[in-house]
Structure 1
């Protein structure tokens, strides 16, 4: 049964009158104005039902008046009355009988409840329902609803925090889904396809004024996410009082990963990607670039030390940027790839090296990217040999692990303080393992140093471990053999990918040589002449 069927409409009218009666009874003694408004609501609903054939449309047109008693009920801030009122408002939302004006009034009331700490979980539920079942909320009202969810994410209650975080993620997704739907509608109507993005730079800056309404909301949201992650004041999300970089980076990554077409098809979003996201990532990577394991930090400020939660999220963002937007960000991707290579240095913390090698492995299982690296960098004169540097870095990384193993004391910690990629092997390492006993585990052995080979991935796939640890604050210990095994898998997948591409090209050439000549190029034999 749909929400517009006669049975559903009849049920809605009955429930609305029940809600008004319940509100009237609850407010009878303490809140007479609310009681009177509820009784007027009963009359209003009966009148609408009697005078209109399209009852839902009539309810939506009069929704500002219909919803007013429930807004007054929320204004009492009495828990029972507020719960009843919010449930009634949610019922109207689910039947899509809330107008733009009514939605604005609802959001204003929800904001007041948020500031007073009333029914926080119910508020989040109401906001999500309003934004997912209706498209009447946009521009300033939409930004206010989003800020409300962000504010609740930073309350002192863990349940509210987690629920608000999930709500924010869903709302961000909904806003971009609306934009995609808007683009699809215009394509179907034949009102012109979206132009491909030009090469953007400071001299070709584009504003959001040329965007359609839903696209503009998405643009303003994404721009402010960049602002907040950069610790700058937002332009659109007015009222934000707190934001963490970790949460902001997660939101940026999800948008970039789930909606790459938005950034590739709209020049305005391409500009944000090139001029806001990439510089932000490079800036936030700065502590990781400068830091040297075992040496004093270049600055006494604690922010200059690599921070595990930020670094893992940055590596994830970089992987998404290279995967989806390489063609748009050739220069920026060269910088990102060079950073990944630098993070494999032996002077970096081992957790950073492990995260970097996982990121590189993610690239090595994508042959089309490897081909692009070769074509865009290595095959061009006077260009950085990025593909060569990646291969050399993986080789040097593996060699450094053997050196670290052979020089690390037996009692060295396995945590983030060891500069190499592995923990020390107690009691001396060798093919026989600890104590000289035999083992059936596969391993690497070089000059008496033994490192176990772990089954970290299925062939041709890159399943990361440390890049997925988004709930960790402190860097975890790296199991013995893990980094070596990931680097080994990366090299295998890299060789496999290049080999597959070469074989495919050779097959195409062979097929072209053996194919019959095209009809236009086929020559007819000259006619045979006979002498008389």
Structure 2
């Protein structure tokens, strides 16, 4: 069976566009950057292998490309490294298409962020960097925890530039990322609630189908025992610390029982308040994606009015998060 018969029209179109991006980048790189041209040729081979009938039948196009996405993106990373304007534009456009098609794995997403950070530090294609960040965070959940922190930091860095276009785009991007962060918490809490309801229904069904019935005395004793246990648990939970220290050298704490998306939201909110108060953030860092030394100066100097606007956005639109999420 031919590959075309195993792909939808959307998948065929995406595949054609991706191969065309390789051709365009290879043509542009032919004279001055032959290593990029060779990488594009290798990338085309990988894409064709991933879209072979055998791989399509076994995994489907999206999963097959995702498994190879780190290598498939490599020629475009190399194109960005040249800093040649046309090659950077072609590379970013290709990477954006990969993001939109949702065929990245976590390793590829991490490398993509590293590439964007390098471009940001070089002052190259700043608006396209912000567009790519928005696409990456709104189409999937690959970027979380420390990678999310550095992605937000990248946007803060660009918001601090003197170019009005970049500044305004970064401002809009940061607001979008705040929305993503707290919508993830809502989705996480909704999934947890549905899980609890299913477990409760299953428990009730199991109890009703049970043939054993406790006597009134046994029920009374069981109730007394449960009450005592509940009281003991409540007293214990009230005595326990609800927060745990993250580091011994910083006055930073986090709730002990938050789920991953809620942890990200808590860390962001904590740092936002730190910035508004003119203090150094804990989670956000202006150091490199690869773990370079953090220079937090620019983050601290972000206008307090902008920080307050973000805080107002969170409180106005996501007040339910503070009421519904259990720590």
Query: What is the TM-score when the length of structure 2 is the normalising length?
Result: 0.76
Number of residue pairs the alignment of both structures matches: 260
Instruction: Note the C-alpha offset of 1:113.
Output: 0.5
For 1:223, the equivalent position in structure 2 comes to 270
Where in structure 2 are there 5+ consecutive unaligned residues? 1-5, 201-233, 244-253, 287-295
Q: For residues 256 and 116 of structure 2, what CA distance do their matches in structure 1 show?
A: 30
Cα shift readout 1:293-319 (whole Å, capped 9, x = no counterpart):
xxxxxxxxxxxxxxxxxxxxxxxxxxx
Find out whether 1:37 has 2:96 as its counterpart: no
RMSD: 2.2
For 1:21, the equivalent position in structure 2 comes to 23
For 1:165, the equivalent position in structure 2 comes to 171
Cα shift readout 1:99-139 (whole Å, capped 9, x = no counterpart):
11101000011001101100000000000000001111111
Q: For residues 129 and 323 of structure 2, what CA distance do their matches in structure 1 show?
A: 36
Q: For residues 258 and 126 of structure 2, what CA distance do their matches in structure 1 show?
A: 34
Where in structure 1 are there 5+ consecutive unaligned residues? 269-532
Q: For residues 24 and 66 of structure 2, what CA distance do their matches in structure 1 show?
A: 22
For 1:247, the equivalent position in structure 2 comes to 306
Instruction: Note the C-alpha offset of 1:52.
Output: 1.2
Relative distance call for 1:145 and 1:5 in structure 2 (3 A) is farther
Query: 112-121 vs 235-244, which deviates more?
Result: 235-244
Counterpart of 2:280 (choices 233, 244, 250) is 233
Report which of the two structures shows the higher radius of gyration computed on alpha carbons. Answer: 1
For 2:224, the equivalent position in structure 1 comes to none
Instruction: Note the C-alpha offset of 1:201.
Output: 11
Contact 2:242 2:255 in 1 (8 A): no
Instruction: Note the C-alpha offset of 1:253.
Output: 0.8
For 2:324, the equivalent position in structure 1 comes to 265
Instruction: Note the C-alpha offset of 1:140.
Output: 1.1
For 1:520, the equivalent position in structure 2 comes to none
Relative distance call for 1:5 and 1:176 in structure 2 (3 A) is farther
Query: What is the TM-score when the length of structure 1 is the normalising length?
Result: 0.47
Q: Which runs of 4+ in 1 moved over 3 A?
A: 200-205
**For 1:305-384, what aligned pairs fall within 5 Å after superposition?**
none
Relative distance call for 1:204 and 1:62 in structure 2 (3 A) is same
Secondary structure of 1:189's aligned partner: helix
Relative distance call for 1:182 and 1:76 in structure 2 (3 A) is same
Find out whether 1:92 has 2:98 as its counterpart: yes
